[in-house]
Chain A
Amino acid sequence: SSELTQDPAVSVALGQTVRITCQGDSLRTYYANWYQQKPGQAPTLVIFGRYKRPSGIPDRFSGSNSGNTASLTITGARAEDDADYYCNSRDNSGDRYVFGTGTRVTVL
């Protein structure tokens, strides 16, 4: 098994930039994906394969990676970006998956 660790919470002023990180050994081998989840809703994929955006996801969302750390950056945060964000990837076995601990992003 393996773990993906995220900061529990971050805040960002409206229109500013925030970066969320995700650390884990599996990220040295497998690409990170990022999901946004709002209260009472299912998660939504916002970044996959480290930096790709699904159709319909604004380009203010971007992803990157360095070693065992993946990052999700929101450039020009909007009120609707206020949500929980989770990273995920395959775990060290390659057969299973793991989610990060989650980051609560508050847009002030």
Chain B
Amino acid sequence: QVHLVESGGGVVQPGRSLRLSCAASGFTFRNYGMHWVRQAPDKGLEWVAIISYDGVNKYYADSVKGRLTISRDNSKNTLYLQVNSLRIEDTAVYFCAKETDESYDRKAFDVWGRGTMVTVSS
């Protein structure tokens, strides 16, 4: 069964850093691009970052560029998100999601984890 499980969230003070993890199982992790998506309390979904299947290509939303780093370890079937200089507005549930193997213009997110909550508060 295909599974994604996020971890690493918690309550953090502004300005601090956090690393989120996403453990994958049930599929060949190294073959798929992976994403992070976040959702602030009572708000909509916000795409955050993508990493290609081999870790070479990474892209970020403009709102987080420079503070967040996406990475992966294909030997451990794990996706990461390093969040630095945390701000109040980074408070959200962070989901990892697997990309479909559709063509470039049809990519979607077909498997999602349950999310990990990050609360930035002093």
Give chain A's interface residues, CB within 8 Å of chain B: 1, 29-31, 33, 35, 37, 41-45, 48-50, 54, 84, 86, 88, 90, 95-102
Contact = CB atoms under 8 A, between A and B. Distances in A.
Given A48-B102, A49-B102, A86-B45, A95 B59 contact: yes
A99 B44 contact: yes
Interface of B: 35, 37, 44-47, 50, 59-62, 95, 100, 102, 105-110, 112-115
Nearest to A86: B45
A96 B105 contact: no
B45 A43 contact: yes
Nearest to B35: A97
13 contacts: A33-B108, A33-B109, A35-B109, A43-B37, A45-B110, A48-B102, A48-B108, A49-B102, A86-B45, A95-B50, A97-B50, A99-B37, A102-B44
Given A1-B62, A42-B114, A43-B112, A49 B45 contact: no
Contacts of B62: 1
A54 B110 contact: yes
A95 B49 CA distance: 10
A88 B107 CA distance: 10
Given A35-B45, A86-B45, A45 B59 contact: no
Given A96-B50, A99-B44, A42 B115 contact: yes
